[in-house]
Structure formats: structure tokens, C-alpha cells
Amino acid sequence: MSILRKTATEQFEAIKNKEVSAVELLDLTYEQIKKVDEKIGAFNSLTEDFAYETAKKVDEKVSKGEELPLFAGIPLALKDNMNLKGSKTTASSKILENFVSPYNATVVDKINENLIPITGKANMDEFAMGSSNENSAFKIVHNPHNLNKVPGGSSGGSAASVAAFESSLALGSDTGGSIRLPASFCGIVGMKPTYGRVSRYGLIAFASSLDQIGPFGRCVEDCASLYEIIAGWDMHDSTSIKAEVGSPTKTLKNDIKGTKIGVIKELMGEGIADSVKKSIEDAIKVYENAGAEIKEISLPNLKHSIGIYYILATAECSSNLARFDGVRYGHRTANAKNLLEMYSKSRAEGFGDEVKRRIMLGTYALSSGYYDAYYKKAQQMRRLVAQDFAEAFKEVDALFGPTCPTTAFDLGSRNEDPLAMYLTDIGTICANLIGAPALSMPIGYDEDNMPIGGQLITNQMQEELLFRTAYNFERETEFHKVQANI
């Protein structure tokens, strides 16, 4: 097997054992990008000079016999809404097409400290708004398993880069499933940490009470290790949790005998594809054989999560995106006669249709006379969803169900029906509403050989349990080893 097709954990061992140098691994990665990215569209820009500078530092350490930090030399794709000083950070929007980051995001500083080469900025749905990665202002991302299918969004470029061997690791952001959905569609592992576990400093905000940065990898161990690198308190982020991160990799391989896993009843009914349902049922048997106790759990308010999310997220997006006014940075119209016209034309020219749709929805929900009816009511309902989960976690240790009711759908098939697109996130939004950690992993393949993702959710701050429960499934199956033929 080519070194590119191995997991990041295996590649790191190869670098430490001098079987491959960091520069050689980076050479192979860029060769793969040049070979396939015209078909995939995973990257908005590449940061080759910066990546090679980092890789050379790794090889110097190896030659001197010095100890390497975790994942040193392993190529990583950075979602294009995270600041890397000196590189373009566009959020896949025309309004930021030429914006160059003046500083690093905290996660980028942590990646740099570990000497992990950042290969480039990964394509995404504009401002992280979308479930298919068809909303980028620059190009559509294609699924490496079938180029006619969507990769999932909004972190589709990050997920596709890992699945197409254009990077070994990636970082994405997750506001309502934007890491887990692409992981599911692309047949890899993606994880959203507890809200506040990973600093959002330097992340372009979409919905500040929901956004969270998280890892992509080819296996659970890759994600657990990358999570350890990026997690932790940050003085620059007021929502950052000041608590010990722990070490999920140390407990990863412990068994889960006696662990109580709840199967979410509401995600196993109407709308779920037969192949997805069967894969969930088969996965339950794997867990039973591993010694876990399985119980059906009902979350009665889960059905309201889409409505809650699309009021709260759009309201926060309306507020956050008000800063893009053509004055301080970003696109400014060339045809304005006065200040008001400059604001309106700059935003009309710079934002895409989906972003405009969400800004208008959010502005309406926050407007005088509607605030109590929509925004306040959605916050109250968010509390009820959280109470359902709190009650569930009194009975079980983890919750399990499909990441998405279906596998990846055809490009363009849902563009004319925003509601159908929004319903794609029915299984993922709840974890963002309650701030809990959640992970998607491959649990099967449908009749067209498209990946099926299973989602685990644990209580807040229970990342070690989350990774361990996922690893125990992965250890007993081969689904994560099935790779895209690209």
C-alpha cells in the first residue's frame, strides 16, 4: 500500500522510523493534489512554501535524533475559514476573495507547534452555510467515491481531501453537522468536540453559540490524536472551557463492556434509507458482541431541532456577517454614489444566494415585533432539547444513530429545494444545540458503494468515552479501510 493511503498514525511511525521523510511525504501529497484536485475541487489555495518549511524542520529533528511532537510532518488541510497568517482566508466567498490573514487562529498556532505541515486552504460552503459544498463562490467539491455525488458540507473540501489522499488530516468547523456530514458521505471519521473545548479564535464566525472546530482522519485514532493537539483553554476565546483535556488516546483501546448505548428512536423511523437502517442495526450487533448494553431512547423534542437551528443560526449569522460592509476589509463595490449604496451593493455583489437567504431569515427573526415570537421561542425550545438529552444521559452513556438518513446525493439534486437540503442535518444539529461532542464513523456501504456514517453522541466533556466507543466498533469492522478509487 502507498504511504499516502495509510493512516496519519501509520505515517507518523514511518517518519519516526526513517522509512519516509516529511519532505518526501509532502512531495507525494502535492503530486496527488496536482493529479486529482481538478476533479475533486478540495482546495481553494495551496500553501506550499509554508508546508515545505515545516517539513524541513521535521527532517532536521529526525536527523539529529530529537523527539518529534505528535503528528509532526503529517500533511493537513485547513478549512478556508481559519486564519493562517500570510495566506488567503476567503470562507469561499467573493466578499473575502482577496483577504490575507494578518494573524493565526489558535488552532493554527497549535498545529505549527507540532510541526504539522499545512498543505492548503480547503474549499467549503460559503461562510460554512450548506450541507453539500455546492455553495462555494469558487468551485463545487466532488465526492471522491463518486464524482457525481456531493461530499457533504460545509467542510466538504476538508473531508474530500482526506478521502482522496490529498491530505492525511484536516480541520473543519461544525455548526450543525458540517464536520460529521462530510465525514459520513466521504467514508472517513469526523468529530465535533464539546462546545468550548477547542478555541474559536481566528475562526470566521457563522453562528457563535454553535460553531466548533474539529478533526478529520482516516481512523478514530487519527481523530483522537488531532483532537488532543488542538483542544484546550485559550485566553483569546471567552467561550473556551478552562478544564483538563485528558488523553483520549491513552484510554482509546480499553473495552466498553457494560457501556450503555442508547439508539435514538426518532432517527430510525420515517425518511431513513433501507441501507442506512440496516447498517445501524448491524452496528448495534457489533456493540452487543463487544459487551455494550443497548437500549432504545426517545428524544421527543428532536423533531423540532431543524426549526430551532434555522432561527438561531440565521439570527447569529445576520449579526456576525454585518461586519462585512465594504469599509474595513473584503470586497467593496466600484459603483456606489453614497455610503448606503456602498453598503448594499458591496454585500449584494459579495454574498452568494444561500448566505443572503440566511441573513434575511435571521434579520427577520431578530426584527422588532418578531423577536419574541421567533428568536426567544427558539431559545426556549433549545432548552427543552437539552433537557431531553440530559434525561437520556441519566439512562445511557452514549447515544447512537445515523449521521444522515441517506448516503451522498447527486450534485444539483437539492439545489432548488432549500428545505430538503436543510433536512439533511436532522441527525446532527442536536449535538450543536446542546454543545455535546459527537463523532461520525463509517459503518457500511449502500448498494452503490457509497459510504454510510454512524453517529455517536456523549455528554459534554466526555470525549474520552466518545473516542473509545467509536474505536471499539472500528476495531471489530473493516469499513474504515474501504478507500475511494481515485
Residues 6+ positions from 12 with CB-CB distance below 8 Å: 68, 70, 71, 72, 73, 74
Q: Which residues are catalytic?
A: 79, 154, 178
**Residue 249: which of 233, 267, 229, 235 has the closest Cα?**
229
The rounded distance, in Å, linking the Cα atoms of 430 and 177 is 9
The rounded distance, in Å, linking the Cα atoms of 431 and 456 is 10
Q: Which three cell numbers stand for residue 167?
A: 491530505
Query: Which residues are bridge partners to 100 per DSSP?
Result: 88
